[in-house]
Structure 1
């Protein structure tokens, strides 16, 4: 048990997350990078006098064949790209969104936390070790964007790198 905790502690101190360059997306056509498939789908649209309003779902799906793990690291300044959210798999940005009328310009998709056992004085508790995206699993979030009338939303995604461990 001590060996496992030492291994996990070592991994937790490693810097395994780096920001990737932005990847341009095409509506309803997934794009893959490092085994993660990114896409967005327009679920609803409405055109007003001067703008178009869209309800959009953004999705990340692990198709790498491996479980993707991001280990938490204190003071990781790369998280600022993802609005300080260490669980963010990727940041989707609508490049032509106006942000008006309390709508979004982008959103994060997030991995699920994982926990490791930690024993002190014979008492075992679980401590959050980081975040993971299992092979084949999919995470999504919905957002509303407003773009100039006559335009469709255009998205780019900025993924976060993960350490790869086999299932």
Structure 2
């Protein structure tokens, strides 16, 4: 019979394996993946052949994106921990190009982040009422698409192989 401690550790290990599988998937160009009401995808906007330090490569300009199709605006807390890193932030997903070289100041991966949600509030300072802006969290409106343009360099005759790892931030 397993001890309580061993049983709990086993359950946590199984849950983390299941969670990570459900939250990471491979993407194909122009074929978006639907996950929990969000659409994740990418498309290539430009392709060029380059020679870098005597080696042949293909340079891709890529647009990565997330679209909110959940039917409601998502508001996220100001201080959520991400699954992608241990830093506090507003990262919704990490798009990782597994065959990117990172040469010539290009990237191997990029995040899509929710926009800051700022509200105006009235405060009293020295018996004087003032309106101040306060960042209360992050927002991703229904129907909105968040996107980034990035550049990958991959070996010649290869296309970008992109894996998306999604984060589920804490909602308000």
TM score, norm. by length of structure 2:
0.74
Q: Which 5+ residue runs of structure 2 have no aligned equivalent?
A: 1-18
2:92 pairs with 1:89: yes
Decide whether the 8 Å contact of 2:82 with 2:88 is kept in 1: no
2:24 pairs with 1:31: no
Superposition RMSD in Å: 2.5
2:82 to 73, 78, 82: 78
Structure 1 residue 83: deviation in Å? 8.5
Structure 2 partner of 1:99 = 102
Q: Which 5+ residue runs of structure 1 have no aligned equivalent?
A: 1-17
User: 1:122-137 maps to which residues of 2 (within 5 A)?
Assistant: 122-137=129-144
Structure 1 residue 21: deviation in Å? 2.8
- CA change 1:78–1:164 in 2 (3 A) is closer
Whole-angstrom distance in 2 between the partners of 1:39 and 1:32: 9
Query: Which 4+ stretches in 1 moved above 6 angstroms?
Result: none
Decide whether the 8 Å contact of 2:81 with 2:89 is kept in 1: no
1:59 to 61, 65, 68: 65
3-state secondary structure, aligned to 2:31: coil
Structure 1 residue 125: deviation in Å? 1.8
3-state secondary structure, aligned to 1:78: coil
Structure 1 residue 124: deviation in Å? 3.6
Aligned length: 145
Whole-angstrom distance in 2 between the partners of 1:85 and 1:45: 35
Asked which structure has the greater CA Rg, the reply is 2
| Relative contact order, higher structure (CA 8 A, sep 6+) | 1
